[in-house]
Chains A and B, each alone.
Chain A
Amino acid sequence: AQKVTQAQTEISVVEKEDVTLDCVYETRDTTYYLFWYKQPPSGELVFLIRRNSFDEQNEISGRYSWNFQKSTSSFNFTITASQVVDSAVYFCALRPNTGKLIFGQGTTLQVKP
């Protein structure tokens, strides 16, 4: 089965706190891609990062960082020093060999001032 699980439905933090969004995926494919998208209230999905299954290097982009661990089938996303503008729904997604994108249920992040 191909599946993405985001166990955290909602997370609430105070501005400047660090927060980690969890993502666990299932696939038997050896080649696949993982994504994170941000969905603000406007509804449009905003691409954040893409990772292929052969690249386990962690990545940092400003306040955002991603931890990909094949051994645990996880692709977690950390926001450092969160800001109110980070409030949104965040989706983790898997693109297996079929090419069909499979999304998790999403995690709603609320950052309070």
Chain B
Amino acid sequence: DAGVTQSPTHLIKTRGQQVTLRCSPKSGHDTVSWYQQALGQGPQFIFQYYEEEERQRGNFPDRFSGHQFPNYSSELNVNALLLGDSALYLCASSLGGDTYEQYFGPGTRLTVT
């Protein structure tokens, strides 16, 4: 039973660039949530995708956008990268649009220089 997978593991980008992170949910799950975890902080909720639509959003600017595909995998896109976007980006999957039982992936470490 495959767990949540994320790619890439690490990424280095330059300010102003755009980045796409990918997530495949745990087998049987249909909901994907994205979190940003800055160094030394707790994860912050970015948004959640269910039935290929953004269902909920945290306090993040429009530079952060996402997509969910028919196979339930998801992408997180960040435009016009800032130094402050450097963080660990975590993907979590769950069932039925809820966050009652989430399984987290290993994360993508993004460094913006």
- A contacts, CB < 8 Å to B: 4, 33, 37, 42-47, 50, 91, 93, 95, 98-106
Contacts and interface: CB of A to CB of B under 8 A. Distances in A.
Interface in B47-101: 48, 56, 58, 88, 90, 92, 97-101
A91 B90 contact: no
Contact of B100 (A43, A91, A95, A105): A95
Interface residues of B, number: 26
A93 B92 CA distance: 14
A105 B97 CA distance: 25
Given A44-B104, A45-B104, A98 B42 contact: no
B7 interface: no
Contacts of A101: 33, 35, 43, 45, 99, 102
A98 B56 contact: yes
A33 B100 contact: yes
